[in-house]
Amino acid sequence: MTRQVYFVPAAETQVASVKKKTAVTTSWVSVDAKGQGTVLDVDKYAIMRRVQIHARDLRVLDPMLSYPSTVLGREKVIVLNLEHIKAIITAEEVLLRDPFDDNVIPIVAELKRRLPQEKDLTCQGLGEEEEEHPGLRNDINTGEENEFPFEFRALEVALEAICSFLDARTRELETDTYPALDELTSKISSRNLDHVRKLKSAMTRLTNRVQKVRDELEQLLDDDDDMADLYLSRKLAVACSPVSVSGAPNWYPSSPTIGSKISRTSRASAVTVEEDNDVEELEMLLEAYFMQIDNTLNKLTTLREYIDDTEDYINIQLDNHRNQLIQLELFLSSGTVCLSIYSLVAAIFGMNIPYTWKEGHGYMFKWVVILTGLLCTSTFTSIISYARHKGLIGS
C-alpha cells in the first residue's frame, strides 16, 4: 500500500495555511480494479472533485454525524454508509474512509483480494489457444459482457463484511447472555440482575443497528429505480455509446478494463438501453444478504424472547416470595392482636380499684385465663379464614 504525499510550493504556503483552518484532511484508501491500494490524505473538497459528488452526499459518511445505514445510488458513484464501512464506489475504484481502523483493515485486504478480475489471470495463454480454437475469443468476449460489474463486486464485499460483523457480534452476545440468564434463574441477586440489565441494553443497541441495515436493504429491494441507479458500469456504457456521443461526458475512464467494457457495450448499445430496468442481477445479490441480515435479526428476536421469558419467570418467583412475606406478616399481626387481648385483660384486673369479687374468689383467675385464651384463638382463626377467603394467603 502506497501513500500519496502532496507538496505545496513556497508561494502557496500562506494560501494553504488559510485553507487548513477551514478544511480538515482525512485518510482514505483507494482500491482499483487491479487490487492496488493507495492511501490518500486529502480533505473533503478533494474527494468531491475526485468522484464528483455533492457535499450533502459526502456528509453521510461523516462519523461525527449520526446518519443511519444508507446505500445511495448517484449518477457516477455509490455512497455506502454501513456501520463502520464508509465508502464511495465508482465504476473503477473504491474509496474507503479511515483505512487504519481495526474494523476497516480486513475489508481493505478483502477488496484487494477479490476485486481483481479472475479472467485476467486466465487470459495469459489465450493467444496460443486462439489459433487452435478460432471461436474462443468470441466466447470470452460474450462472457465478459455478462461478468459481474466492478461496483457490484465491491458492494458485495462491503455487504458480506457488515453482515458477518453483525452476526459475529450477535453470537458473542448470545454466548454471554444465555449463561447469565440461567445463573439469574438459579440465584436472584443484585449482581446478576445488573449483569443481565447491561446485556439487555447491549442487545437493544445491536438490534437497532441490525434493523437499520435490514431496513435499508429492504427499501432497495422494494424500489427498482433505486437498484437501477446502482448500475454504474451500465450508465457509463450508455453515456459513452454512439447513441449518446453528442453529449459525451468529460469523465471517460482511463482504465483499460473499463474502456474495453465500454467498447464492447457500445456495439450493443441498443440492447443495453432496453435492459436499463433489468435489476435481476443486483436483486439476487441484495436478497442473499437480506436473508443473512434477517437471520441475524431473528437470532436477536429469539434472544429477546428468552430474556422476556426469564423476566416473567423471575417476576413469578418474586410474587411468590412477596405472598409468603404477606402471609408471615398476617400471622404476626394476628398474634399481636391476640396478645393485645391478653394485655387488655391484665390491665383491667391490674387496676387498683376495690371490687367485692376479688375477695374470697380465687377460682376467678382460672376462668379468666381460659375465657381469654378461647377469645384469642377464635379471633386468630377468624382472621386467617377471612384472609384465605379473600385470596390473600394460600390454603
Please report, to the nearest 10 degrees, the dihedral formed by the alpha carbons of residues 104, 109, 110, 114 taken in order: 140
Query: Among candidates 134, 302, 150, 283, which has minimal Cα distance to 223?
Result: 283
Residue 124 has a pLDDT of: 43
Residue 11 above 50 pLDDT? no
Per-residue cell: 233? 458500469
- pLDDT (tens digit per residue) in 344-380: 777 776 666 666 666 666 666 677 778 777 887 887 7
Judging by DSSP bridges, how do beta strands 26-32 and 70-73 pair with one another? Answer: unpaired
Cα angle: 385, vertex 390, 392; to 5 degrees: 85
Query: Residue 259 — very low, low, confident or very high, per pLDDT cuts 50/70/90?
Result: very low
d(CA 267, CA 145): 11
Burial 379-391 (b: 16+ CB within 10 A, else e): ebeebbeebeeee
| Amino acid of residue 180 | A
Mean pLDDT of 91-117: 89
Rounded Cα gap, residues 40 and 42, in angstroms: 6
pLDDT on residue 241: 61
pTM of model > 0.85: no
Report d(CA 290, CA 296) in Å as an integer.
10
Q: Do residues 39 and 31 touch, judged by C-beta distance below 8 A? A: no
Query: Which are the contacts of 147, defined by CB distance < 8 A and separation ≥ 6?
Result: 117, 119
Q: What is the pLDDT of residue 162?
A: 94
Instruction: Say if residue 371 is exposed, middle or buried (CB neighbours under 10 Å; 0-12, 13-18, 19+).
Output: exposed
Judge residue 120's burial from the number of C-beta atoms within 10 Å of its C-beta, 0-12 exposed, 13-18 middle, 19 or more buried.
exposed
Helix (H) or strand (E) holding 279: none
Residue 253 has pLDDT above 50, yes or no: no
Residue 107 and residue 95 in contact, taking contact as beta carbons nearer than 8 Å: no
- pLDDT of 146 strictly over 80: no
CATH number among 3.10.310.30, 2.40.128.330, 3.30.420.40, 3.30.200.20, domain 23-117: 2.40.128.330
Q: What is the mean pLDDT of residues 258-286?
A: 58
Q: Which three cell numbers stand for residue 187?
A: 440465584
CA gap 151, 62 in Å, rounded? 22
CA within 13 Å, CB half, 240? 21
How many C-beta atoms surround the C-beta of residue 364 within 10 A?
A: 13
* pLDDT given at position 161: 93
Write the secondary structure of 221-243 as one string of H (helix), E (strand) and C (coil).
Answer: HHCHHHHHCCCHHHHHHHHCCHH
Strand partners, 71: 80
Mean per-residue pLDDT, 79-103: 90
Q: What percent of the chain has pLDDT over 70?
A: 70
Q: Which residues contact 145 (CB under 8 A, 6 or more apart)?
A: 261, 264, 265, 268
